[in-house]
Amino acid sequence: MIHALILADNTYSSIHIGVNRAPGAHRIATHLRQNGYHVEVIDYCLRWTLDEFQTICHKLVTEKMLFLGIGASLFFDKPILNELLVWFKQKYPHISIVLGGSNVIYRDIEPVDYLLDGYAENAILDLMQTLQGKKSHNDLLFSSKGNVKFIDCNKQYGKIDIANLSIDYLKTDFIHSNQTLGIETARGCIFKCEFCTYPLIGKKKIDYLRDPLSLREELLRNYDLWGVTRYIINEDTLNDSIEKLRSLEKIITSLPFKIEFVAYNRLDLLLAHPESVEILDTIGLRAVHFGVETFNSRAAKIIGKNPDINRMKEGLLWLKQRLPHVAIQCGMILGLPEDDNDPWEDVDWYRKSEIDFYNFNPLYLTDVNRVVNTSGFSRNYKSYGFELMSASEIEQEIEQGFGDPKEFMHNRNGIWVLHKNKAHLEKILYWKNVKTGDNYFKSSRLSLEIAAKSKERRTMSWTLFEYTSLGYTIDECRTWNSHRLGVNPFPEQELTNRAEQLIHNYKTSKINFDYSSFYNKK
């Protein structure tokens, strides 16, 4: 008997080429299996037709199934998902629908019975036992959001034992050797940047670390079973301690194969500890994302970044020379307090540096009453010189428009998702900076203009590890421009064809699999 189905997708960059698995959904499935439940994950859920979804449900769903889950952290809302859910609820009204992820309130996904926000390992077990009747519903920790029960997992279900954060894929997941998989080495971040909305920030260096043996076993298992050697490391700051990096070095260099990975790293820490660069190179770093955020020293100091801008720039150029085989991506924020730099001068510096990829995003503030995790800026925006725009100011900015999104990068689905995503509309604060005259809309337009004119940028660090899942090498993908009008643009149609074929093969295998024989052996 299948106790739960979890729908997942990973189309955060582009629905056309998104083929990597959503690790959160598979992590929850693994945790439930470790506690005696049979759980199936249905990947690429936004790419299933209603007929295909009905076929797989007829094979897997029984009267005793406890819930249908949706792991929604890595995709934007699409009408097809609601179509699947409406049919499912009509067909199986007794089965609960559970939506999980980060900041899931106001997602345009329905019908839903439960919302689970945050790290959900403890909460999902409690919910399973409640749905089974083993626990009273009165003992379940939740609050009501209309007809939906909301569980703040990080707050209401406390600290999770993360010694073992493994994701154990099954034969029914149809993993292939080119697949890039997500893997956790730790949770949380030792820093508390004022713009950050992530949970578990400000931790100590030894907090939330994974057991090294468990990590090694997961790497070995994925290689032995599927031939996988490429990973996205799902951690806020991989290099937050030199001790952790040395531990990873010991684990990874003991493997009978080499791995390649992409990860977030903190630039100033790498420069402060040059030996960490050697370790990262040794253990397989092939792409990195630095949250540089600003080249203005005053703004950098306010947000908790190193204000020595010259050192940061020199460090990036040194890393580019020291690690030519590593793709470097830098993120910048438009609209930070005290940042009076000319953004085009910063763009010009990036162009001359030949950093693989850089992007400028508008400062993002959220309503503290409508989201679970908010930034310091969002909680205290007035003290940083921000005010909220009036309705007439917002209307005036919207009337100016955002140009033709087709002119921009391939992963711009819609116009900054500004009026395409219910969750975004419900929680965003449209800010203005009285001192600089900047506002959210102006920053958004500038962001898109920079993207449209930055034809020299190559492939994003994260997208590299999407393309490799389609059978390309990292070196091959690094030669492509991310812009359609670049000198050597990414082969969009070929990528799309490969992705569609991969997903077609997955769905065919998933539908035709003999689940009865598989689960009866367990």
Q: What are phi and psi of 451, to 5 degrees?
A: -60, -40
Check: CB of residue 68 under 8 Å from CB of residue 88: yes
Phi-psi region of 36 (alpha: psi -120 to 50; beta: other; left: phi over 0): left
Q: What residue ranges in 273-412 does DSSP mark as E strands?
A: 285-293, 327-334, 357-362, 365-366, 386-388
Number of H helices, E strands in the chain: 20, 17
pLDDT confidence of residue 204:
58
**How many alpha carbons lie under 13 Å from residue 463 in its C-beta half-sphere?**
28
Peptide bond into 111 cis (omega under 30): yes
Cα–Cα nearest to 29, from 10, 56, 4: 4
Task: Specify which residues 71 forms β-bridges with.
Answer: 8, 100
Residues 357 and 281: their CA atoms lie apart, in Å, by: 19
Q: 331: which 2 tokens?
A: 């993120």
One-letter amino acid for residue 445 of the chain: R
Q: Where are the alpha helices (DSSP H) in 36-78?
A: 50-60
Check: CB of residue 398 under 8 Å from CB of residue 441: yes
pLDDT confidence of residue 305:
87
Domains and CATH numbers, the chain: 4-160+503-520 (3.40.50.2300)
Residues 130 and 191: their CA atoms lie apart, in Å, by: 37
pLDDT confidence of residue 208:
57
> How many beta carbons lie within 10 A of that of residue 246, not counting itself?
13
- With b for 16 or more beta-carbon neighbours within 10 A and e for fewer, the 181-217 pattern comes to bbbbbbbbbbbebbbbbebbbebeeeebbbeeeebbe
Check: CB of residue 259 under 8 Å from CB of residue 252: yes
Task: Specify which residues 265 forms β-bridges with.
Answer: 290
Q: Beta strand 285-293 with 260-265: parallel, antiparallel or unpaired?
A: parallel
pLDDT confidence of residue 15:
58
pLDDT confidence of residue 68:
97
Q: Which secondary structure element, helix H or strand E, spans residue 399, and what is its range?
A: helix 391-400
Cα–Cα nearest to 179, from 504, 411, 471: 471
DSSP 173: G
pLDDT in tens, the chain (522 residues): 899 999 999 886 555 688 999 999 999 999 999 999 999 999 999 999 999 999 999 999 998 899 999 998 777 778 899 999 999 999 999 999 999 988 787 777 889 999 998 888 899 999 999 999 888 888 788 787 788 998 888 888 877 777 788 999 999 999 999 999 999 998 665 555 555 555 555 455 555 568 889 999 999 999 999 999 999 999 888 998 898 899 999 999 999 999 999 999 999 999 999 999 999 999 999 999 999 999 999 999 998 888 999 999 999 999 999 999 999 999 999 999 999 999 999 999 999 999 999 999 999 888 776 666 666 677 777 888 889 988 888 878 877 765 433 333 323 333 333 434 555 556 778 899 988 889 988 998 899 899 888 989 999 999 999 999 999 999 999 999 988 778 899 999 999 999 999 999 999 999 999 999 998 876
Check: CB of residue 150 under 8 Å from CB of residue 115: yes
- With b for 16 or more beta-carbon neighbours within 10 A and e for fewer, the 398-434 pattern comes to eeeebeeeeebbbbbbebbebeebebbeebbbbbbbe
pLDDT confidence of residue 405:
35
With both helix axes pointing from N to C terminus, report the angle between 309-322 and 343-353 in degrees, rounded to the nearest 10: 20
